[in-house]
Chains A and B, each alone.
Chain A
């Protein structure tokens, strides 16, 4: 317990600041969730998401609350990165910056043990704070979409639930590693932010590719509520599938998509005018489709992404260990 107490004291201001921020955010989310639930409970005959006759006031109130709630999802999306970096970067960087590693690394016979010990409290704080946000964001989402079965629904994917925790752990790992390499607090915080952006950019790209490889190709117009949409594709008459960008790269400069999702190109040498119907003047070249992961695969996809993120976090932790083991203490 003494080690936990000392670790907490070494980062107490960050922990207090982040805990207060998360408490405020979670409190606000719960309050809005209770408001949404009250709107639904007080008007059992109304669908609050539709302006049906006699339910206009309910729908208006629900709409107002929804606007605020959507802003919260931006904060819950950003929270893992902020919390992970704020706790991760100073862990080694501040010690090197202030020279305290000279004492710590000679008192401790193993720097790896020292790092592992120092990681325990920040890791638990990241897990605890983001778990709180994960739960409250689930409650808020459930309040906003009362008809949805959120355990099998991609609505607000990555902005609620356990993925917040996994992302926070990766950001923590990035922060620790960058801080250990640079050994200066402020530069490490800036560099950590950039590296986190690059890491998550790469991870998102990779996960999208993986999901696309397993996605269903559904004709345009099909109800995909709750599914994970991975973008649109055009399926040409010969069965070839491509993105709109790829189509343009192949020289199809102008095209139009009809209401039913059919894709037309204008007659050779001309372009579609604003008001004309593409079905009447254009040539049908294919059908627009959407790539989706069906809603029922939500638990599996979340578990898979969390496992990948967990693995990446472990890699950053190991990298931090290598750097700490080899580097100078000042």
Chain B
């Protein structure tokens, strides 16, 4: 990856919360510039914690993170200058209108592109004079995305913005995101626990489970290098076995040519890696 610009990194990143739980257990990541990277994992996998360390909301217990080479804990404003952030819940100001939110962003962020944010919301049919509290969840998420995109930041961090949206709103959100990333040449990291949502939109995949990186690959490579089938027929490099939709035991194999197995879907790849990290009874997560 030496000839590719890396914009987000972590090195041996570990985060332990006060109650003693390790949210991240020492992870190394390099996220290259451009495209959308999906950060997939179940609840409590550490996705939000990881994103929040890049935003400077969480301080690493061990290791380091950087945004374009800047440590966000040491130089938060330097790191934030490159970042647009969409939180898990849109968390808009109840008492302000959509237009007020854009005005607020103009005040807070030098260079905020109010015109493009306004136009984007207009295209989605979101009235600028509407109060934030009167918007649907999908509309609120779109406003939050418009605020992040309006910063013209080169890196967008989206912390499960799709979680509370209906399928149509999710599709619209992803459409706006992919369109904006392609147009602006930005880098986006989109966390989600719903694989089908991100499959079409994302170029790269990071599977996070129990605070560790289980897989880090392009979507194309992930699909090309994994096959799946009945567990008894797998003979190669088995990632894990897990139950299929009909209750049959399936094996995910890292292989490109095992003819007894069929190509795995992205959801099956993710499930296979998550299954590989299932906690063994009696063994706790540790850094």
Whether chains A and B associate is: yes
A contact residues vs B (CB 8 Å cutoff) = 2-3, 6, 9-10, 12, 98-100, 102-111, 114, 117, 328-329
Q: Please tell me if B45 contacts chain A, counting CB pairs below 8 Å.
A: no
| CB-CB contacts below 8 Å: B78-132 with A | 80-81, 83-85, 87, 89, 91-96, 100, 103-110, 112
A156 and B263 alpha carbons, distance in the complex (Å): 86
Are B103 and A2 neighbours in the complex by a CB distance under 8 Å? yes
Contact of B91 among A12, A103, A117 (CB under 8 A): A103
Within the complex, the shortest CB–CB distance from A98 to chain B, in Å, comes to: 6
A105 and B147 alpha carbons, distance in the complex (Å): 13
A-B contact pairs, 7 of them (CB 8 A): A2-B106, A2-B107, A12-B95, A99-B87, A103-B85, A103-B87, A104-B104
Q: Given the complex, which residues of B lie within 8 Å of A107, measured CB to CB?
A: 104-105, 108-109, 112, 147, 151
Q: Which residue of A lies closest to B153 (CB)?
A: A106
Q: Given the complex, which residues of B lie within 8 Å of A99, measured CB to CB?
A: 87, 89, 91
A133 and B144 alpha carbons, distance in the complex (Å): 42
Do A114 and B58 form a contact, CB below 8 Å, given A10-B93, A98-B94?
Answer: no
Are A329 and B96 neighbours in the complex by a CB distance under 8 Å? no
Within the complex, the shortest CB–CB distance from B82 to chain A, in Å, comes to: 10
Number of residue pairs spanning A and B whose beta carbons lie under 8 angstroms apart: 65
Q: Given the complex, which residues of A lie within 8 Å of B80, measured CB to CB?
A: 106, 109
Tell me if A's interface is mostly helix, strand, loop or mixed.
helix
Are A109 and B93 neighbours in the complex by a CB distance under 8 Å? no
A105 and B87 alpha carbons, distance in the complex (Å): 11
Q: B211-248 vs A: 1/0 string, CB under 8 Å?
A: 00000000000000000000000000000000000000
Q: Please tell me if B210 contacts chain A, counting CB pairs below 8 Å.
A: no
Are A109 and B81 neighbours in the complex by a CB distance under 8 Å? yes
Q: Which residue of A lies closest to B84 (CB)?
A: A106
> Which of A100, A103, A329 has the most B CB atoms < 10 Å from its CB?
A103
Contact of A106 among B55, B89, B92, B104 (CB under 8 A): B55
Within the complex, the shortest CB–CB distance from B47 to chain A, in Å, comes to: 15
> Which of B91, B110, B112 has the most A CB atoms < 10 Å from its CB?
B91
Within the complex, the shortest CB–CB distance from A119 to chain B, in Å, comes to: 14
Q: Given the complex, which residues of B lie within 8 Å of A114, measured CB to CB?
A: 108
Are A9 and B96 neighbours in the complex by a CB distance under 8 Å? yes
Q: Given the complex, which residues of B lie within 8 Å of A100, measured CB to CB?
A: 91-93
Are B107 and A103 neighbours in the complex by a CB distance under 8 Å? no
Are B108 and A104 neighbours in the complex by a CB distance under 8 Å? yes
Within the complex, the shortest CB–CB distance from A92 to chain B, in Å, comes to: 14
Q: Given the complex, which residues of A lie within 8 Å of B105, measured CB to CB?
A: 107
> Which of A9, A107, A117 has the most B CB atoms < 10 Å from its CB?
A107
Are A110 and B85 neighbours in the complex by a CB distance under 8 Å? no
A108 and B77 alpha carbons, distance in the complex (Å): 8
Q: Given the complex, which residues of B lie within 8 Å of A6, measured CB to CB?
A: 96, 100, 103-104, 107
Q: Given the complex, which residues of B lie within 8 Å of A2, measured CB to CB?
A: 103, 106-107
Q: Given the complex, which residues of A lie within 8 Å of B109, measured CB to CB?
A: 107-109
A239 and B89 alpha carbons, distance in the complex (Å): 72
Q: Which residue of A lies closest to B103 (CB)?
A: A2
A262 and B95 alpha carbons, distance in the complex (Å): 66
Within the complex, the shortest CB–CB distance from A16 to chain B, in Å, comes to: 12
Are B83 and A106 neighbours in the complex by a CB distance under 8 Å? yes
Are B91 and A102 neighbours in the complex by a CB distance under 8 Å? yes
A106 and B81 alpha carbons, distance in the complex (Å): 9
Are A9 and B91 neighbours in the complex by a CB distance under 8 Å? no
A183 and B151 alpha carbons, distance in the complex (Å): 27
Q: Given the complex, which residues of B lie within 8 Å of A106, measured CB to CB?
A: 55, 80, 83-85
Q: Given the complex, which residues of A lie within 8 Å of B55, measured CB to CB?
A: 106
Are A108 and B85 neighbours in the complex by a CB distance under 8 Å? no
